[in-house]
Amino acid sequence: MATNQGLKIAVIGGGSSYTPELVEGFILHYKELPVRELWLVDIEPGLRKLNIVGNLAKRMVEKSGLPIEVHLTTDRRKAIEGADFVSTQMRVGMLDARARDESIPLKYGVIGQETTGPGGMMKALRTIPVILDVCRDIEELAPNAWLLNFTNPAGMVTEAVLKYSKVKSIGLCNAPIGLIKQVSAKYNVAADRVYAEFVGLNHLHWITRIDVEGEDKLDDMLTDGYSAKNVPAREWNPEFIQSLRAVPSYYLKYFYMTDAMLEEQMESFKQGINRAEVVKRVEEELFELYANLELSEKPKQLEQRGGAFYSEAAVNLMRSLHNGSNDIQTLNVANRGILNFLPDDASIEVNCVVTKNGPLPLPLTKIPPMAKGLIHAVKTYEQLAIDAAVTGDRALALQAMVHHPLVPSVDVAVRMLDEMLEANKEFLPNFFTK
């Protein structure tokens, strides 16, 4: 380990457009998180992007005057060896795969979404074996490292690592930190004066308590509502939201407003609009900016990209683990009895105290009874899909898809699964080479 002379950090998928934000975080918080070596790793096809973003990273560090070494490589094992933290932000199959995840389900009258429903399932099938492969390297080369997983579907990926490897792993999402920032802006207080209790799974949570400076503001939030950028804004029915007594995460719109969300997706699809395509364009523009040799800081435009705060969340978590600061963060970790109807090794999204030895989940003070069924139904699908990803067992994949609450029947599942597996053939060796 590099701990004595400063930390070693490996970023798998380092060619991502998010990387400058991460680098900015390392620079800003160098004092509490003394990074000595930053290894940005990517695969061959991503080498162009890695070089562009990596060179921007080098310019940023140089400008800061800090003794951080930035390494660009396609040699994952070299990057991982002796690392203190490994973070992943990968997209197996890249944006083309995402475009398919989002469009094929629409043909069957089913929500097409990147991280939930059949689209999210395909992303899980493609991603989990790759992440577990990374874990094999970590187990061998950096057994004490923390794996910070940003790769979606982050809850399922984290659960796969918990079940199928010995790596110490934590899943991260930007939604919780985003909510805190919204509340802190709304009430004009510092973020650490906001306490929000999250209940549920990654991309399937309810917020049941929002205290601002110790005062309960839940009713306020249920009345005024809140909005988020990367999901179409929609108003909740007031009678419904008041009696729910919880703020639903914006991904819950796919479950609570399935018909309207589907109609909207269909409309966009007919008009040839496609979120994957939009993101593709935004990314291209970002990389044009990054390539500018004059640039030596994170460009403002990056903030308009959906995943704001991802890197902030990551740096916060690394700082707290490194220093044992015992502060509270919302993370994806093993359930261990918190939601008493789920198995101990299910991943859940929950407030944790981040100790030097890792996050300890805090007990929930309220669980909305309405939420239990949906949480369990989605977790059932997740467990089946994870096992399908690991084994390549088509029958398990069918069971997973049938039991996803957004899939209307066995018949649709059978046909949609066939098409989607075939479309992802290249990225599913477990399913196609055995």
Selected from 412, 419, 430, 432, the binder of its own copies by CB under 8 A is 412
Q: Report if residue 233 touches its own copies, rule: CB under 8 A.
A: no
- Which of 34, 82, 299, 408 binds its own copies (CB under 8 A)? It is 408
Q: What Rg value do the Cα atoms of the chain yield, rounded? A: 21
Does position 232 bind its own copies by CB under 8 A?
Answer: no
**Under a CB-based contact definition with an 8 Å cutoff, are residues 206 and 199 in contact?**
yes
Name the segment binding its own copies (CB under 8 A); options: 51-59, 79-87, 198-206, 253-261: 253-261
Enter the tokens of residue 309: 């705060």
Which segment (45-53, 121-129, 306-314, 363-371) binds its own copies by CB under 8 A?
Answer: 363-371
CB count within 10 Å of CB 394 equals 14
Is 369 a residue that touches its own copies (CB under 8 A)? yes
C-alpha 131/C-alpha 136 separation (Å) is 9
Encoded tokens for 197: 């209790």
Contacting residue, 292, 301, 304, 326, with its own copies by CB under 8 A: 326
Q: Which is nearer to its own copies, 292 or 326 (CB)?
A: 326
Should residue 356 be labelled a site residue for its own copies when binding is judged by CB under 8 A? yes
Instruction: Note if 251 is an active site residue.
Output: yes
Annotated binding residue 98 = yes
Kindly state the tokens that stand for 98: 């995402």
**Residue 314 Cα distances to 117, 149, 171, 195, 405, angstroms:** 26, 9, 10, 19, 31
Q: Would you say 255 or 290 has its CB closer to its own copies?
A: 255
How is residue 35 annotated by DSSP? E
Query: Does the protein bind its own copies through residue 259 (CB under 8 A)?
Result: yes
Question: What is the distance between the alpha carbons of residues 362 and 377, in angstroms, rounded to a whole number?
Answer: 23
String of contacts with its own copies for each residue 265-304, x by CB under 8 A: ----------------------------------------
Q: Cα–Cα distance between 283 and 70 in angstroms, integer?
A: 22
Omega before residue 153 within 30° of 0, cis: yes
Is there a contact between 201 and 173 (Cβ–Cβ < 8 Å)?
no
End-to-end CA distance of the chain: 38
Q: Which of the residues 18, 108, 250, 251 is marked catalytic?
A: 251
Say what the alpha-carbon torsion angle 155, 156, 160, 161 is, to the nearest 10 degrees. Answer: -30
The annotation places the binding site for Mn(2+) at 173, 203
The annotation places the binding site at 98, 152, 173, 203
Interacting residues with its own copies (CB under 8 A): 195, 209, 211, 214, 236-237, 239-240, 242-244, 256-260, 324, 326-328, 336-338, 340-342, 353, 355-357, 360-363, 365, 369-370, 372-374, 376-381, 383-384, 394-396, 398-399, 402-403, 405, 408-414
Active site residues: 251
